[in-house]
Amino acid sequence: MATANKNLSEYDKTKLPDASEYRFGVVVSEWNDKITNGLFTGAQTALLDCGVKPENIIKWDVPGSFELIYGAKKMIETQNVDCIITIGCVIKGETMHFEFVCDGVTQGVKDLNIEYDVPVIFCLLTDNNEQQSIDRSGGKHGNKGTEAAIAGIKMVALKKNAENKNKTIGF
């Protein structure tokens, strides 16, 4: 299991780019809100800890994980953000719904990254049961929301460095 080998929830902010002027949009699914609220808290805490101003974190709620794509698209088009973090949780049930939603959100986030020049970070838990989701939203395996925030900071820096034609991009 990848989580057992590396926990990105533990980060060294001194090795991260200065995020004090970055604007983040966070689109959060209301479905499985016990989990998604924990993921949002992890993302928000990490962003603030890394110097992002509270007023530069815009949170929008959407009904479910499938709606993350539309919410992210509208946020990109209207909110002048440097990065979007999409947060959702789909727990496997007894029908194919799990596979369809997970695949649709995965492809949708990929499409947004291709269509727009704004990084869209994928923070969708796709677990077999609720306990796995709890463990990854602030439990024993850390917080994937924290990891998404750190990835977002790094991707904004990558974009800005690339726009400045820096030949070496690293953290």
- Close Cβ partners of 136 (under 8 Å, ≥ 6 residues apart): 3, 125, 127, 142, 143, 144
Q: Which residues of 34-47 are buried (b: 16+ CB within 10 A; e: fewer)?
A: ebbbbbbebbbebb
Q: Which residues, listed in sequence order, are joined to residue 126 by a DSSP beta bridge?
A: 90
Active site residue 97: yes
Do 105 and 65 contact (CB within 8 A), yes or no?
A: yes
Tell me which of 13, 34, 53, 97 is the catalytic residue: 97
Q: Which residues of 68-80 are buried (b: 16+ CB within 10 A; e: fewer)?
A: bbebbbebbeeee
Do 59 and 40 contact (CB within 8 A), yes or no?
A: yes
Give the separation between CA 12 and CA 100, rounded to whole angstroms. 37
Q: Tell me which residues are annotated as active site.
A: 97
